[in-house]
Structure 1
Amino acid sequence: MIRPSRKVFTAASALTLSLGLAACGAGNEGGSGDGSTSSAGGGSAAESVSGSIKGAGASSMEKAQGEWMAKFSEANPDATVEYSPDGSGTGREKFINGAVNFAGSDSAMDEEEMASAKEKGCTGETIQFPVYVSPIAVAYNLEGVDELNLSPEVMADIFNHKITSWDDEKIKADNPDADLPSTAITTVNRSDDSGTTENFATYLKAAAPDNWPHEPEDAWPVKGGEAAKGTSGVVGAIEAGQGTIGYADASQIGDLGAAKVKAEDEFIEYSPEAAAKILESAKRVDEASKTNYAVELDQANAGAGVYPVVLVSYAIACSEYGDAEAARTTKAYLEYIASQEGQDAAAAAAGSAPLSPAAQENAKAALSNIKVD
């Protein structure tokens, strides 16, 4: 479980991230309704919130959540926020069952999950909106190979265990100038239900449908290879091996190599800027909803200069809580992490791409539905 650190990071300059989510239609009716601001205090300059709230979910957000909690607790010394990076699937399950006040997930709640939450832990409406955007790095550990290019078809064949040696002719075709060894390939995937897995598999299915026959879901679909729990587990397994390759939030891969991914006719290196571009064409799943701001990405047609392997993590909350104090603190905390200040803090600590002003307004509109009285 993560508890807030007192370490303070200098906020990086914000990137302009256009989610293509214009603050339009029914989703933007209402506003915040309580005079709250985007400060870490979650309210006016003269007030702060109190009490304890708990969250759980995506391990990809671990660094960002740690920084958010630290900054929020500095402004709200009487409030305690805890976040367990148990994985997206576990986070959603805990939210559905009412075990946590909020969840973080690398994949949005679907209609069935929201209906289940309404019967159990969230008697109101499920609120969800993008709060953390980051490239998924295709990380590898291969001695003597400092640069690696991978087309989506080759990547799909590697993770589907159709290509098993690093000197395979198909890998050579993507890397004509590289000295590729005959080392066996060991793929590393998540052992737990993971939104990062779903996002990565969604990319493979969209970009290389003939090579990746599996339907995207939180559970890894291919047997064999090595499995590890959480983002840190995957990174650790890649680091501990030789000839290993896996997928993880780019902010957490450390000194591992990261493949350049082919989009159109060029190989693109990951960066927050290159990942952010894919969201310019993202569309809301339900444009009429006041609470659901889930988006769909077009990873098969990312466009020139766009890094196409991206995860969009969501904050998930409920419009009604049995405890008014918990409602106020949850609302204040999530307003902070979606604000410019919160997004800059995550960019500095985790290398994520800050949300655009329009996406921040969408988050504020969604959170205005939380009843705090």
Structure 2
Amino acid sequence: MKLQRKNRLRASAVGALAVSGALLLTACGSDNNSGGTGTGNSAAAAKNVKCEGAKGKLLAAGSSAQKNAMDLWVKNYMAACSGVEINYKSSSSGEGITSFTQGTVGFAGSDSALKPNEVEESKKVCKTGQGINLPMVGGPIAIGYNLPGVDNLVLDAPAIAKIFNNQIKKWNDPAIVKLNPGAKLPDSAIQSVHRSGDSGTTQNFGKYLGKAAAADWKYEAEKKWPAPGGQGATGSSGVAAQVKQVEGSIGYFELSYATSQSIPTVKINTGAAAPVAATSENASKAIAAAKIKGTGKDLALSLDYATKAEGAYPMVLVTYEIVCDSGNNPDSLANVKSFLGYAASDDGQKILSQHGYAPIPTEINSKVREIIAGLK
């Protein structure tokens, strides 16, 4: 009887391990670009999340750039705080800000800081304060491409600008050939793909080109795509899907989308000793040099898109969670503080680098935590 009981226990343990492994493989193999959460991360999060006072539903919306990070955070957080349901609608930064200023969400995600007119608009919702920017997610904007036989494509800012401005139209253009000696570049058309809706990723992409390729990119850095030609797609997931499917295509999106779909990414010739790859580590080197340009509790950052520092990937973005510094909806305030507190915690930030994002530098993140704790 003792032997039978021991065998049953052993079989039960093996079964549980198999189920756990299956769940992990399902998460990692998911084609919704969630990137997987990892059972270990959920367990770790459960020990550190402060759930006190949080209950019911929390609605949020905005940036699709942080969707994969948000998926990870939501799963881990809800595993720790079983009485709370987080619903983040991934759309665009513009839609997220609109939802926030209309008072329909507890917080919004945006890849660009609030403009002065948006701050003014937020005061209607933040009865005793205004909307502020809390940097929560960093990472590289990757340039993904579909060019069979070319595994290490190198471009510089002027070439990228001309491709997306419909001035370089063939893959064997002399400018691309010069940057890729020895590569077998085909005499075929380039199909560039951009975001069709208002997008903070587009705006950050434009900021990079405006700084690093000023002579070739004359457009203002706005959320709406400004250049002629190319094909539009919905969200970063739509751009990545087009690049994955269409041979000869090229598009911009967050690294996590390239990683999850095995899309090769461009190395950028910044003028440093060697071209720089789009990695979390290389993006962190650029983000670490960011300066806070916001005032008061606003932590909007100024990034150096034209950096030539060794190993620093210059095409980066920071996604902000937008909240009221005071005057938050009392029905959602506890949930907002609890959830964002987890996202800014060591555990919340640690999982970012494992999934194609870059954690916010410690010096800045400590201020984020302090402000979250003081929201009212």
**In structure 1, the residue corresponding to 2:351 is in which secondary structure?**
helix
1:73 has 2:73 as partner? no
Q: Structure 1 residue 264 and structure 2 residue 271: aligned?
A: yes
Task: Measure how far apart 1:326 and its partner are.
Answer: 1.2
Q: How many residues align?
A: 339
Shift of 1:324: 2.7
Find out whether 1:238 has 2:246 as its counterpart. no
Q: Is the contact made by 1:335 and 1:364 (CA closer than 8 Å) also made in structure 2?
A: yes
| Distance in 1 separating the partners of 2:254 and 2:231 | 18
SS in 2 for 1:268: coil
Cα gap change, 1:5/1:214 in structure 2, threshold over 3 Å: closer, same or farther?
A: closer
Q: 1:103 to 1:144 in 2, by over 3 A?
A: same
Cα deviation code 1:55-103 (max 9, x no counterpart): 0011111111111111111111111110001111111111111111101
CA drift of 1:268 comes to: 0.7
Report what 1:255 is aligned to. Answer: 262
Unaligned runs of 5+ in 1: 13-36
Give the residue type in structure 2 aligned to 1:255: S
RMSD: 2.3
The answer as to 2:94 corresponding to 1:86 is no
CA contact (8 A) 1:148 1:175 kept: yes
Deviation at 1:223, TM superposition (A): 2.3
1:300 — aligned with what? 306
Partner residue in 2 for 1:278: 286
8 Å CA contact 1:5, 1:70 repeated in 2: no
- What SS is found at the alignment partner of 2:352? helix
Unaligned runs of 5+ in 2: 1-31
Letter in 1 for 2:117: E
Cα deviation, residue 280, structure 1: 2.6
Alpha-carbon distance between aligned partners in 1 of 2:90 and 2:138, rounded to the nearest angstrom: 17
Looking at structure 1, the residues matched to 123 and 206 of structure 2 have their Cα atoms a distance apart, in angstroms, of: 29
Structure 1 counterpart SS, 2:222: coil
Distance 2:47 2:101 in 1: 29
CA distance in structure 2 between the partners assigned to 1:111 and 1:81 by the alignment: 29
Task: Choose from 98, 104, 124 the match for 1:99.
Answer: 104
Match of 2:168 among 131, 150, 163: 163
TM normalised by structure 1 equals: 0.86
Is the contact made by 2:268 and 2:276 (CA closer than 8 Å) also made in structure 1? Answer: yes
Superposition TM-score, scaled by structure 2 size: 0.85
Distance 2:292 2:36 in 1: 36
Distance 2:53 2:270 in 1: 47
Cα distance, 1:127 vs. partner? 2.6
CA contact (8 A) 2:288 2:361 kept: no
Higher helix share: 2
Following TM superposition, by how much is the alpha carbon of 1:8 offset from its aligned partner in structure 2, in angstroms?
3.6
Q: State the 1:5 CA deviation.
A: 11
CA distance in 2, matches of 1:280, 1:335: 21
* Amino acid in structure 2 at the alignment position of 1:303: A
Distance 2:36 2:196 in 1: 32
8 Å Cα contact 1:38/1:336 also seen in 2: no
Matched, 1:315 2:305: no
**1:263 CA drift (Å):** 1.3
Cα gap change, 1:206 to 1:122, in 2 (>3 Å): farther
Q: Is the 8 A contact 2:165 2:229 kept in 1?
A: no
State the 1:270 CA deviation: 1.2
Q: 1:38 to 1:103 in 2, by over 3 A?
A: farther
Contact between 1:38 and 1:340, CA under 8 Å: does it hold in 2? no
Residue 145 of structure 1 corresponds to which residue in structure 2?
Answer: 150
Q: How does 1:3-82 map to 2 (within 5 A)?
A: 8-11=38-41, 40-42=48-50, 47=52, 49-82=54-87
Q: Which has the higher contact order (CA 8 A, sep 6+)?
A: 1
Residue 301 of structure 1: how far off its partner (Å): 2.5
Q: Which residue does 2:368 correspond to in 1?
A: 363
Pick aligned residue for 1:212 from 208, 214, 217: 217
Asked whether the 8 Å contact 1:269–1:307 carries over to 2, the reply is yes
Q: Deviations over 1:129-185 (max 9, x none)?
A: 110011111000012211100011111111111100001011100001101001100
Distance 1:302 1:339 in 2: 31
1:214-248 CA-partner distances (Å, limit 9, x unpaired): 11111110122110010110001111211100100
Distance 1:250 1:5 in 2: 11
